[in-house]
Amino acid sequence: MENLEHKHLAVLDEATRRGEQDTGNMRLCFEVLALAAAIDRSCAARLAPYRLSEGKFVLLSLLRDLPDGLAPYELAERAGVTRATVTGLLDGLERDGFLLRHGDKDDRRKISVRLTSMGKAMAEDLFVEHSQWIGSLFAGFEPREREVFSGFLLRAWRNVEMPLDAGQATGAGTSP
């Protein structure tokens, strides 16, 4: 019960109270969400002292080892966010001295984002540290267990991304 979020407990309690079937499935779903939320909170706590969010960290990672930098639209594509979001993140990273925007010599619409020395050092140190931390979250799993776990995640992911037709456990087969 410890690895559930308050809000999910409330929903789960209510489903249980009304004699809902399949609270086991709901609970499993909430456990996945609770784990992801816990990872996000821990990640934020680890990055906060460096004045970084996960989104900013991703941009720093993308810019490492690229002396010519990247354009904001390329950063947006690789990070999977909109160009508007990248503009905001770059504002903060530039303000804090991690990178600079440079005009493109051929195309005045374009800019090239490059890390500063401080940005490079930060990106390097944090990449190593962050990677190790991420890896540590799943320490203690045997290769076979990881394989089974990953298979479960993929199956669930497919249920989310590609819900089946009427043969599924939903009522009216509603879609987004």
Partner DNA sequence: GACTCATAATTAGGTGCCATACTATATGTC
Partner DNA sequence: GACATATAGTATGGCACCTAATTATGAGTC
What is the binding site for DNA (CB under 7 A)?
52-56, 71-73, 80-90, 92, 101, 106-111
Q: How far is the CB of 72 from DNA (least distance, A)?
A: 4
Q: Is 46 in the site for a second copy (CB under 8 A)?
A: yes
Tokens of 74: 């390329």
> Which 8-state DSSP code applies to residue 165?
S
Q: Which of 53, 58, 94, 96 binds a second copy (CB under 8 A)?
A: 58
Q: Is 157 in the site for a second copy (CB under 8 A)?
A: yes
Q: Is 163 in contact with 175 (CB distance < 8 Å)?
A: yes
The single-letter DSSP state of residue 50 is: G
Site string for a second copy, 97-116 (x = CB under 8 A): --------------------
Q: How far apart are CA 82 and CA 95, in angstroms?
A: 20
Could you tell me the CA-to-CA distances from 56 to 64, 79, 88, 96, 99 in Å, in that order?
A: 13, 10, 10, 11, 11
By CB neighbour count within 10 A (0-12 exposed, 13-18 middle, 19+ buried), where does 128 fall?
Answer: exposed
Contact region for a second copy (CB under 8 A) — 10-18, 82-90, 99-107, 114-122? 10-18
The 122-141 contact track toward a second copy, x by CB under 8 A, reads -----xxx-xxxxxxxxxxx
Task: State the nearest-atom distance from the C-beta of 17 to a second copy, in Å.
Answer: 9
